[in-house]
Amino acid sequence: MERRPRIDGHTLLAGVIGWPVAHSRSPLMHNFWLEQRGINGAYVPLPVVPGAFDVAVRGLQAAGFRGVNVTIPHKESAYRIVDRLDRSAQRSGSVNTLVFAPDGRIEGYSTDGDGFVANVEAHGIPVRGGRALLLGAGGAARAIAASLLDRDVDVVVANRTRARADALAAQLAGITVIDWAGADELLPSCRFVVNTTSIGMEGGADATLPLDLSRADTGLVVCDIVYVPRQTALLRQAAERGLRTVDGLGMLIHQAGLGFEKWFGATPDIGPEVEALLDADLHRAHAG
Ligand code: ATR
């Protein structure tokens, strides 16, 4: 029988706020780490309807929670509610991790960009310099762009709606914008290509990316932040060409580490065990 965590008066509490939130793998991941580290803590899903975010956050803070992760559709509300914005949050314009500090203040962090970079580096691929082509201009793209710029990567963004890419470039100095249809031409000069759109996601956009990988340099690293399915059409095509690929599951795991450290005071083990756990769970959920 599965061992249940003991909940008592000393249990450290955290969770994830989203709507819907039932699909989130964060509870599985954090509770695995808590048990692995022998920490008296619990991490719960917190379904909060749009409009109720502020009430929920104040309530959780008053109830002694250490903090929360924030996911769709509340990341902008999270950005507004914080008292102290970490640089990562300022740069990415969003917050996915709230920490309720002992002085009563709410601290906001964005861990998506650094989670992305840490995951690529965990694959043995250093992220420093070179050019990255980012497809998409949503919240995830901005966070990733900020982290890549910090590592002296030349960031080029292509988005279906060009105006959105232009807006992103206006917020982050150093980004170049090209047309969606022009993405292909840039491939030979790129070291990384990163899909941050919902193309390739199960139940996501029914479209294809404007990329012909036959033009890519053999050293190109192809990354996707989609993790359902883990092997998207883009990654499959890249692998067939012998290009190195990085899927989105590792980013999900790496972005979670900072929150765990802040709330529970320990560094989680970002190794093959947690990856296997999530991989098995995704397969169970999407089988048949
Ligand atoms: P997130 O915050 O997770 O990045 P988002 O803000 O909804 O999500 O952004 C989704 C991205 O996927 C956008 O870049 C979007 O392009 P638009 O700005 O043109 O909407 C992109 N996207 C979604 N469906 C697409 C499609 N069918 N073709 C091309 N891009 C698509």
Could you read off the pLDDT of 167-217 as tens digits, one per residue?
999 999 999 999 999 999 999 999 999 999 999 998 887 889 999 999 999
Q: How far is CA 27 from CA 33, 74, 182, 205, in A?
A: 10, 18, 40, 27
What is the pairing mode between strands 84-85 and 97-100?
A: unpaired
Model confidence at 165: pLDDT above 90: yes
What is the structure's pLDDT at 164? Answer: 97
Rounded to whole angstroms, the Cα distance separating 21 from 105 reads 25
User: Quick one: pLDDT at residue 198?
Assistant: 92
- pLDDT bucket at 31, cuts 50 / 70 / 90: very high
Confidence bin at 281 (pLDDT 50/70/90): very high
Asked if residue 96 belongs to a known ligand binding site, the reply is yes
- Same-domain pairing of 72 and 128: no
Is 227 within 8 Å of 248 (Cβ atoms)?
yes
CA of 278 to the centre of ligand 1 (A): 25
CA-closest residue to ligand 1 atom 30: 160
Residue % of the chain over a pLDDT of 90 = 91
Please check whether residue 44 lies inside any domain of the structure.
yes
Q: Is the CB of 223 under 6 A from ligand 1?
A: no
Residue from 77, 134, 135, 160 whose mutation best tests the ligand 1 pocket (most atoms within 8 A of CB)? 160
Which atom of ligand 1 lies at the shortest distance from residue 75's CA?
A: 2
Reported residue count of the chain is 288
Q: What number is the average pLDDT over the span 265-280?
A: 96
**Are residues 154 and 39 part of one domain?**
no
Q: Which ligand 1 atom lies nearest to the CA of residue 196?
A: 4
pTM of the predicted model as reported, rounded to 2 decimal places: 0.94
pLDDT in tens, 109-134: 999 999 999 999 999 999 999 999 99
What is the per-residue pLDDT for 202?
87
At 1, the amino acid letter reads: M
The total number of structural domains in the chain stands at: 2
Do 157 and 242 have their domain in common? Answer: yes
Q: Are residues 106 and 132 in the same domain?
A: no
Tokens of 215: 């033009």
| Residues spanned by the domain of 97 | 12-110
* pLDDT score of 203: 85
**Which DSSP letter does residue 38 get?**
T
102 φ/ψ sector (left φ>0, alpha ψ -120 to 50, else beta): alpha
Q: How far is CA 143 from the centre of its chain?
A: 9
- Give yes or no for residue 162 CB within 6 A of ligand 1: no
- Using the mean position of ligand 1's atoms as its centre, give its distance from the Cα of residue 198 in Å: 6
Residue 217 is part of a domain; what is its CATH number? 3.40.50.720
| Chain segment 228-257, per-residue pLDDT in tens | 999 999 999 999 999 999 999 999 999 999
Ligand 1 pocket check for 161: Cβ under 6 Å:
yes
pLDDT at 288 over 90: no
- Here the CATH number for the domain that contains residue 33 is 3.40.50.10860
> Is there a binding annotation on residue 238?
no
Does residue 153 form part of some domain? yes
Window from 63-77, 101-115, 196-210, 264-278 with minimum mean pLDDT:
196-210
Mean pLDDT across 94-121: 97
- State residue 258's pLDDT score: 96
Q: Are 176 and 157 in contact (CB under 8 A)?
A: yes
226 lines ligand 1 (CB under 6 A): no
Distance 288 CA to ligand 1 centre (A): 27
How confident is residue 2, by pLDDT bands cut at 50, 70 and 90? low
> Do residue 106 and residue 213 come from a single domain?
no
36 and 59 in a single domain? The answer is: yes
**The predicted structure's pLDDT at residue 205:** 79
Instruction: Encode 28-37: b = buried (16+ Cβ within 10 Å), e = exposed.
Output: ebbebbbeee
Poorest-pLDDT segment among 44-48, 106-110, 182-186:
182-186
Confidence at residue 95, expressed as pLDDT on a 0 to 100 scale: 95
Mean pLDDT of 5-34: 94
| Residue 258 belongs to some domain of the structure | no
Residue 285, pLDDT score: 83
Element (H, E) at 18: strand 12-18
